[in-house]
Amino acid sequence: MLSRFVAFTSIGRKALPNQYDLFAFALVFAAFIALTHVSHGLTLPLTAPESTVVSLDYWLLPYYALRTTLRMFAAIAASLVFTLVYATLAAKSRRAALVLIPLLDVLQSVPILGFLSFTVTFFLGLFPGSILGAECAAVFAIFTSQAWNMAFSFYQSLRSVPRDLIEVARGFRLSGWQRFWQLETPFAMPGLIWNMMMSMSGGWFFVVASEAIAVGDTTIKLPGIGSYLALAIEEKRIDAVFAAIIAMLAVIIAYDQLLFRPLVAFGSRFRVELSAGQTPEKSFVAQVFARTHWMRVLMSGPARLFHAIALLRMELPIRAHPQTPGKSPGLSRAIDIAFITCVVLATLWAVWLIIGYVRQELTWSDVRQSLLYTVFTMIRVILLMALATAVWVPVGVWIGLRPRLAEKVQPLAQFLAAFPANVVFPIAVVLIIRFSLNPNIWLSFLIIFGTQWYILFNVIAGASAFPNDLKEAVSNFRIRGWNWWKNVIIPAIFPYYITGALTASGGSWNAAIVAEYVKWGNDTVSAQGIGAYIAEATADGDYPKIVLGVAMMSIFVILFNRLLWRPLYGLAERRLRLD
């Protein structure tokens, strides 16, 4: 049986066990044991001693790391389901797209930890007394950090399926369900997997941040590395902070090796370019699995099942003839008008509701204050982006132009981007307190700490892709110095830089909520900014202020995207593409 969807099963040459079997076996069973161990902790009552972090014992860290990872997987699974449904709906229905796509655009501008402040009480109410509610809130927060860009990627792929492939599918009369699994999903796979992995990398930050939450009087510490860290901060135990950092390092390495790389290698096989152009992605673990005989046998069952399901016709009886030529345009237009009217009315109603709420709870001075703080945070983000650019662009170019070095540094930069920067925040706080540094300045660096790597690895990728003949032309015409930077390398890496900077800037706004308001024991260090404003309001359980802060930040992020990044992106697309 040839599998079409599961990469790890291909026709094997020999049935005897090989040296990879042992390795793969150990890996898989370790995963099973870990799962059973973790799953019984999920349904404990909220008051049970094991439902929260009470001890800083190092030996508990592996268990906490597992719980953290599990949360991450729950979120990515939810994101995947959301993506498949939401993006498909948006791509298949013109009217749905009118609403869904702008909505997605706004959603991805809302600071992720802002969602957490809102939703935690909701989820706690949903499962009263059980830890499941808090788990859901944390998973939802991580979900919000992952789902939007996955959905965007999937939507864009669905919209750009090559016309001739669609014609083949229609010519063979594939049903909608078959077309989705045989054509559209495989076509969208490389983009989806890449975005999924990028989302997961970003997600570690939020899983750490969302485990220990205090909204007003409700304090939750879900078992996990984030809560362990929070407890270490409360008890001022710097050794425990380091233990958490090491545990996190181990988790990220495992994630990078066991998931990120195998999946990207798997995704590359769905690329549509028919030439075997780029260097294929390699993954040690994927190779191990591909070479392991029993693994292939084991996977062939699920693969066959999946394949069978993908080939079901699943037709709705009413839509037997999907395309009827005689559809009257007048009727369609009338439905359009009715639909748009509904959308407009719903929007007006929502706006009216918001204004009513804000008028009741907030004063103009609150608005002015939050606006001022947002401007402070914006200045911070801009300055630090500029600083990170000034540092990492030359470094990235230097590395990227040396292929052998780039090959080694690139995975490291990707790894650093996945590492949750908030785990190392306490160290910075200790230093700030120790040397009585100005938090308004020194806390700012934390904002960019985790996100600067996106700039680095994108610039490296850009410089590596600089064509060799252009390199030769440059040295032939002896273009050097400032002229070289201005006319050669900066335009060449610009599209890549923009991609990296866009991610870094978005991440920095999010990080502000955690980075501008940090604690060490009873000492609180906070900078003036909208991040600290939201964090403080969350700690006080002051919902109107949370809403105001989150809304203000979202508006700024949206404006930032529209007025700065999108035009730059357009410029890069039109003028500076090398192919």
Residues within the interface to another protein (CB under 8 A) = 2, 4, 11, 162, 164-165, 167-168, 170-175, 178, 182-183, 186, 189, 269-276, 311, 313, 321-325, 571, 574-575
To which H or E segment does residue 519 belong? strand 517-520
Least separation in angstroms between CB 577 and another protein:
13
Least separation in angstroms between CB 574 and another protein:
8
The nearer residue to another protein, 172 or 477, going by C-beta atoms, is 172
Nearest to 429 by CA among 414, 450, 446: 446
The nearer residue to another protein, 182 or 503, going by C-beta atoms, is 182
The nearer residue to another protein, 171 or 481, going by C-beta atoms, is 171
Helices (H), 160-292: 163-171, 176-179, 185-211, 225-234, 238-255, 261-267, 284-291
The nearer residue to another protein, 103 or 571, going by C-beta atoms, is 571
∠ CA 317-322-326, rounded to 5° = 120
Beta-carbon contacts of residue 295 (< 8 Å; ≥ 6 apart): 8, 9, 21, 24, 28, 289
Least separation in angstroms between CB 11 and another protein:
6
The nearer residue to another protein, 170 or 486, going by C-beta atoms, is 170
- DSSP assigned state of 14: -
Q: What is the CA radius of gyration of the chain?
A: 25
Least separation in angstroms between CB 195 and another protein:
18
Report the phi/psi class of residue 129: left, alpha or beta, with left for phi > 0 and alpha for psi in -120 to 50: left
The nearer residue to another protein, 282 or 313, going by C-beta atoms, is 313
Cα distances (Å, whole numbers) of residue 574 to 76, 155, 468, 491, 579: 34, 22, 22, 12, 11
Separation CA 308–CA 311 (nearest Å): 5
The nearer residue to another protein, 176 or 541, going by C-beta atoms, is 176
Least separation in angstroms between CB 170 and another protein:
5
**Using an 8 Å Cβ cutoff, are 518 and 194 in contact?**
no
The nearer residue to another protein, 5 or 445, going by C-beta atoms, is 5
**Helices 403-418, 364-400: crossing angle, 10 deg rounding:** 150
Nearest to 138 by CA among 203, 198, 88, 182: 203
* Residue 524, φ and ψ in degrees, nearest 5: -115, 130
